[in-house]
A and B are shown apart, each in its own frame.
Chain A
Amino acid sequence: MTETTGPLLRVEGLVKHFPVKKGMILQRTAGVVRAVDGVSFELRRGETLALVGESGCGKSTTGRLVLRLIEATEGRVELAGEDVRALDTGALRRLRRKMQIIFQDPFASLNPRLTVGEILAEPLRLHRIVEPAELTERVHELLRVVGLAPYHAQRYPHEFSGGQRQRIGVARALSTQPDLIVCDEPVSALDVSIQAQVVNLLQDLQAQFGLSYIFIAHDLAVVKHISDRVAVMYLGRIVELACKDQLYADPRHPYTQALMAAIPRPEPGAAGTRQVLEGDVPSPLSPPSGCTFHPRCAFAKDRCRSEVPSYRRMADGRFVACHFAEDIPKAEAAVDPEGADEPRYRRRLAVLQAARPQEPQPA
């Protein structure tokens, strides 16, 4: 890897169509699911780009296409200048060292019959990253890096809690010293207090090792804390891609606005005023004409029903796929941004936080 300028990852016009077969013996193709339908973005070194959207929007498929865990139908993926889709098996395996993935379900993604030490040693051995004599030492180091202890190497995945298992998944992804990690809903299966631990860990590791993340999630509040830029997906396309601050201050695509409004907020009484998006996500087998969001969009006009909006750059630098992005009224904030919290709550929290560092942390 010689190229250090320019983006780490470039994705251009990525398309994945899954054929739908009918019939048990004489199969014929009955249609195609347009899971990913022309996705383009860039990822800089040390940056976190979030892909958000509801189930079926193609965010996980995009993550897997980037790693070539599934083959794309069309489009180009470049990692540090190398064309990922053109590589043969051997070259791809070598490149995989540089791109890793963390899965949503820490229960399903760790082999239950291997000890944690064996799980972490496997990629080290496969990619010949360390000398066999140094394997144990390196495994222990990885465990320490993710906040576990060396003695955990002897244990099996089922002996760990969900949060700890996700730490093991993170350690495994780190073991090959990657440049890019695709985090596929890494905290969705965890309790809130544990979720915060893992989000903080991912941020620390990024600062320490200069990692780039593609952070796939459906929770816009979590995404706000970890990402630099956010791409909102709907039915296989990016509808809005912007810097975090731009996107959250003033979402321009009506779908982004609806997604933000739908999040239940931990403030009693905040729910009353918001606009609820009607209907379901349409089937990707037969997406609506024109803008695929138009049947659910409060601002849809005739043009939206007939003409697919182009994915274009707005004056403020963000990308959006909406004919009327400039004219959509600003979404009303359901809650005032700062200090809705009661002083009593703040005061107590301060007491807790002051007490925190004095307590020794269990491993």
Chain B
Amino acid sequence: MTQSAVSAGSGAAPEAPPLLEVRDLKTWFKTEDGLYRAVDGVSFAVRRGRTLAVVGESGCGKSVTSLSIMRLVPEPPGIRAGGQILLDGEDLLEKSQVEMQDIRGQRVSMIFQEPMTSLNPVYRVGEQIVEGLVKHRGMSAAEARAKAIEMLGLVRIPSPESRVDSFPHEMSGGMRQRVMIAMALACDPALLIADEPTTALDVTIQAQILGLMREIQARLGTAIILITHDLGVVAEMADDVVVMYAGKVVERAGVRALFDDPQHPYTLGLIDSIPRLEEKRDRLSTIEGSVPHPQRLPEGCRFSPRCPLATDRCRNEEPPLRQLRDGHEVACWYAPIDEAAA
């Protein structure tokens, strides 16, 4: 297994170059109150047919990262402050908005957390799927409608021939999210970005949607970037994981390594604070304090004010992301901490 400097993978075929490579991405926002460094030097890579999970709490920059890839960050106030987003070697940050319109929906698609707000309430769901097919694939109306029905069937909407003429409000939350997935995949994109796709859904429906995404990925070979705060969803879906904190990547690893051998104190705290069904402790572990305000980012390591192990070095000097072993990188001066403390 060979590893390039920015690969997040483990176990992919060595010859396959990543489909998407994000290099040192910086997306800032200039507001009346000052500069927000929402995404501040983020790098990762996604390979074809694999799932990369981007995890972190609110405000860590995970959603801004995904919007940056789609070039959906409004400018102003957004600033492309640096970095590259290479899709098959082409830098998306250099594209014009007109060029991006051809890329969005066709090569990269996105599904959002709230399917009700991202479907147009006054159009039938079929019309919304057809729109992209006619525009990107140049299909006739009849061809596009047939394809829309096929896609609704693929996402297991019962009786797709009649459901194609339903309005979004006539569907349940789970069905709407299925429609979103059908729409996103209609033009067979190479990359699907799913931003908290199941957060608004009940657990039994979440299980259905996650199963559907896995199945479709296996069939179509779509690469997925899954943005989530839920480590349970990560464990279930991801091949590789990027953990973000306050606009930075703090740890990057294969999913097994992340859960079995987590290195960064933030990752450890995050895993430890999830209540689990199969354990008996009465008290939950917490990470003290809260995420820093984006304008009052601490000096040095951004996690240092909440880290029980922080020393003066952590408070003054920002730790770089460094490789500990193949495909496992961490931004902490003291990783691996048990060996450092021993």
Q: Is the CB of B235 within 8 A of A352?
A: no
Known: A192-B273, A333-B278. A277 touches B262 (CB 8 A): no
- Minimum Cβ distance to chain B for residue A355 (Å): 4
B336 within 8 A of A: yes
Q: Is the CB of B338 within 8 A of A344?
A: yes
- Minimum Cβ distance to chain A for residue B1 (Å): 18
> What is the 8 Å Cβ interface bit string for chain A, positions 73-99, against chain B (1 contact, 0 not)?
000000000000000000000000000
Q: Is the CB of A218 within 8 A of B202?
A: yes
A-binding segment of B82-90, B119-127, B185-193, B279-287: B279-287
> What is the 8 Å Cβ interface bit string for chain A, positions 344-363, against chain B (1 contact, 0 not)?
11011111110110110110
Contact residues on A (Cβ < 8 Å of other chain), bracket: 35 or more
- Distance between Cα atoms of A361 and B290 in the complex (Å): 11
B229 within 8 A of A: yes
Q: Is the CB of A351 within 8 A of B337?
A: yes
Q: Is the CB of A192 within 8 A of B229?
A: yes
Within 8 A of B (CB), among A255-311: 258-271, 274, 276-278, 280-281
B-binding segment of A5-13, A124-132, A159-167: A159-167
Q: Is the CB of B236 within 8 A of A270?
A: yes
Q: Is the CB of B204 within 8 A of A277?
A: yes
Known: A225-B275, A248-B277, A277-B204. A193 touches B57 (CB 8 A): yes
The residues of A that contact B218 with a CB separation of less than 8 Å are none
Residue of A194, A218, A261, A333 most packed against chain B (CB within 10 A): A194
A135 within 8 A of B: no
- Distance between Cα atoms of A335 and B278 in the complex (Å): 8
Instruction: Determine which of B206, B265, B337 lies in contact with A262 in the assembled complex, contact meaning CB atoms within 8 Å.
Output: B206
Q: Is the CB of B203 within 8 A of A263?
A: yes
Q: Is the CB of A265 within 8 A of B337?
A: no
The residues of A that contact B58 with a CB separation of less than 8 Å are 162, 191
B99 within 8 A of A: no
Q: Is the CB of B235 within 8 A of A199?
A: no
> What is the 8 Å Cβ interface bit string for chain B, positions 320-342, against chain A (1 contact, 0 not)?
00000000000000001110010
- Distance between Cα atoms of A269 and B255 in the complex (Å): 10
The residues of A that contact B277 with a CB separation of less than 8 Å are 220-221, 224, 248, 260, 263, 265
Known: A268-B256, A348-B338. A276 touches B290 (CB 8 A): no
A109 within 8 A of B: no
- Which chain A residue has the least Cβ–Cβ distance from B342? A351
The residues of A that contact B273 with a CB separation of less than 8 Å are 192-193, 195-196
The residues of B that contact A344 with a CB separation of less than 8 Å are 260-261, 336, 338
Residue of B174, B255, B278, B309 most packed against chain A (CB within 10 A): B278
- Which chain B residue has the least Cβ–Cβ distance from A275? B207
Q: Is the CB of A218 within 8 A of B203?
A: yes
Known: A196-B273, A362-B288. A351 touches B256 (CB 8 A): no
- Minimum Cβ distance to chain B for residue A58 (Å): 14
- Minimum Cβ distance to chain A for residue B324 (Å): 12
Q: Is the CB of B338 within 8 A of A351?
A: yes
- Distance between Cα atoms of A348 and B260 in the complex (Å): 11
A55 within 8 A of B: yes
- Distance between Cα atoms of A243 and B64 in the complex (Å): 44
- Minimum Cβ distance to chain B for residue A230 (Å): 12
Known: A199-B284, A264-B236. A345 touches B207 (CB 8 A): no
- Minimum Cβ distance to chain A for residue B270 (Å): 6
Contact residues on B (Cβ < 8 Å of other chain), bracket: 35 or more
- Which chain B residue has the least Cβ–Cβ distance from A54? B202
Q: Is the CB of B285 within 8 A of A196?
A: yes
- Which chain B residue has the least Cβ–Cβ distance from A343? B260
A154 within 8 A of B: no
Q: Is the CB of B287 within 8 A of A224?
A: no
- Distance between Cα atoms of A196 and B260 in the complex (Å): 22
A222 within 8 A of B: yes
The residues of B that contact A163 with a CB separation of less than 8 Å are 290
Q: Is the CB of B288 within 8 A of A361?
A: yes
- Distance between Cα atoms of A280 and B204 in the complex (Å): 9
- Minimum Cβ distance to chain A for residue B327 (Å): 15
- Minimum Cβ distance to chain B for residue A188 (Å): 10
Q: Is the CB of A348 within 8 A of B275?
A: no
- Distance between Cα atoms of A23 and B260 in the complex (Å): 59
Q: Is the CB of B341 within 8 A of A280?
A: no
Within 8 A of A (CB), among B153-171: none
Instruction: Determine which of B210, B229, B274 lies in contact with A266 in the assembled complex, contact meaning CB atoms within 8 Å.
Output: B274
The residues of A that contact B208 with a CB separation of less than 8 Å are 276-278
> What is the 8 Å Cβ interface bit string for chain B, positions 44-59, against chain A (1 contact, 0 not)?
0000000000000110
The residues of B that contact A335 with a CB separation of less than 8 Å are 278
- Minimum Cβ distance to chain B for residue A352 (Å): 6
The residues of A that contact B260 with a CB separation of less than 8 Å are 342, 344-345
B219 within 8 A of A: no
The residues of A that contact B275 with a CB separation of less than 8 Å are 196, 199, 219, 221-222, 224-225
The residues of A that contact B282 with a CB separation of less than 8 Å are 203, 225
- Distance between Cα atoms of A281 and B203 in the complex (Å): 12
- Minimum Cβ distance to chain A for residue B181 (Å): 16
- Minimum Cβ distance to chain A for residue B200 (Å): 9
Known: A345-B268, A347-B338. A200 touches B206 (CB 8 A): no
Q: Is the CB of A262 within 8 A of B204?
A: yes
Q: Is the CB of A352 within 8 A of B259?
A: no
Q: Is the CB of A267 within 8 A of B57?
A: no
Residue contacts A-B, CB under 8 angstroms, 5 given: A266-B232, A276-B211, A342-B260, A344-B260, A351-B337
Q: Which residues of A contact B (CB under 8 A)?
A: 54-55, 161-164, 191-197, 199-200, 203, 218-222, 224-225, 248, 258-271, 274, 276-278, 280-281, 333, 335-338, 340, 342, 344-345, 347-353, 355-356, 358-359, 361-362
Q: Which residues of B contact A (CB under 8 A)?
A: 57-58, 172-175, 202-208, 210-211, 229-236, 255-256, 259-263, 265, 268-279, 281-291, 305, 308-310, 336-338, 341
